[in-house]
Amino acid sequence: MSRRASIRIAAALAIALAAPACGPWLYAASTAPPGAIADLDTKHAQAYLTVGAVMAFECQDGGPCRHATARSDDDGIAEILPAALARLEPHWIAGQQPAAAFVLIGHAPGKTTVRVRSKDGDVDLRVTVLPATGVAAR
Amino acid sequence: MFKECSPADAGCRRAAPAAPLAVGSRLRPDVQVDVAGSVMPVIALASSRPEVVDVVDGAMIARAPGMAAVVIATPDGTVIDFQHLWVADADRLVVERPSPLGGGAEEIVGPLELVAGESVLLSSTLLGGAQRLAGDGGATWTATACDGCGEVVALLQDGVAGRRRVVARAPGTARVTVTASGVTATVDVAVVP
């Protein structure tokens, strides 16, 4: 095997290994209410939510994730619903696509996973619903 | 509230409480959604925390102090919008009357003096600390006249919750008592000939 071919194979392997680390990515699309938490860590696919708080997020992978769906492992802890943003966004290969948005609702303290599936790939969002604090706890 | 819709969002124009709801109160929000290319879809409201704010027959019922979100969704569960809101205990009730100059109401801070046959419109507002609270607390209004005075004032409903028209019937004194969400306010009324 030539040196050039070896380099090509190594590069292909590197790309293949790196591929799972690529998108889709989940981005927060709303802010937390005062006194509560509603954070989404895009890089680590983690969300923290105060019980009772609601957070919107979008699935992106070079544009809106196509044909995106989501479900929660435990609706009693965190419920996930599709959201309508009535907006189109450019996708890197598919042209204008509807925004792939969801709304996460914190129902009870605990941990669960929201599984987002799309034509552009999948991502599992680890969700922690925190007990209410301060005025939200009363 | 509901004034922060992004132009890129569903274009919501929503009427909802501009203050925390008083525990025990009820408020029916006027939800209007403008979606490009569509008339307003069929919507339903749901609460993220029914023990704090429950939704019954389209009205929000404030159950206990705390924070919750009301989600506006289509019947198939697609969320169009959501709004966080708070519920607080009421610690004071004030009786007010519409300002003759318009643009609000004036708190009744002393006795009312009315001429027999005169009437005045009064309303009640719940407060939590320095803050006005939203929602209809289901106020009850009663009037008690001085001993042996007969009917000094009459309290007439005018069709709006939390509001009464006080009609001076005959000379004497009376006390109007308003109770809502566990707090009470009184107004002394003197009717002169």
Quick: pLDDT tens for B57-96.
989 999 999 999 999 999 899 999 899 999 999 999 999 9
> b/e for A40-73, b at 16 or more Cβ within 10 A?
beeeebebbbbbbbbbbbbbbbebbbbebebebe
In which domain, by residue range, is A115 found? Answer: 23-137
Query: For residue A88, is it within any domain?
Result: yes
pLDDT in tens, A50-80: 999 999 999 999 999 999 999 999 999 999 9
pLDDT of residue A10: 54
Assess contact for B29 and B45: CB atoms under 8 A.
yes
- Sorted by where each starts, the structural domains of chain B and their CATH numbers stand as 12-88 (2.60.40.1080), 92-192 (2.60.40.1080)
The pLDDT of residue B119 is above 90: yes
Q: How many domains does chain A have?
A: 1
Report how many Cβ contacts below 8 Å link chain A to chain B. Answer: 77
The answer to whether position A39 is within a domain reads: yes
List pLDDT tens digits, range A66-122.
999 999 999 999 999 999 877 788 888 888 888 899 999 999 999 999 999 999 999
**Chain B partners of A136 at a C-beta cutoff of 8 Å?**
66-67
Q: Which residue of B lies nearest to A101 if distances are taken between CA atoms?
A: B79
Q: What's the rounded mean pLDDT across residues B97-125?
A: 85
- Residue A53, pLDDT score: 96
Q: How does DSSP classify residue A19? A: G
Q: List chain A residues with CB under 8 Å of B8.
A: 85, 87
Is A127 inside a domain boundary?
yes
Residues of A in contact with B67 (CB under 8 A): 33, 35-36, 50, 52-53, 132, 135-136
Are A84 and B48 a contacting pair at CB < 8 A? no
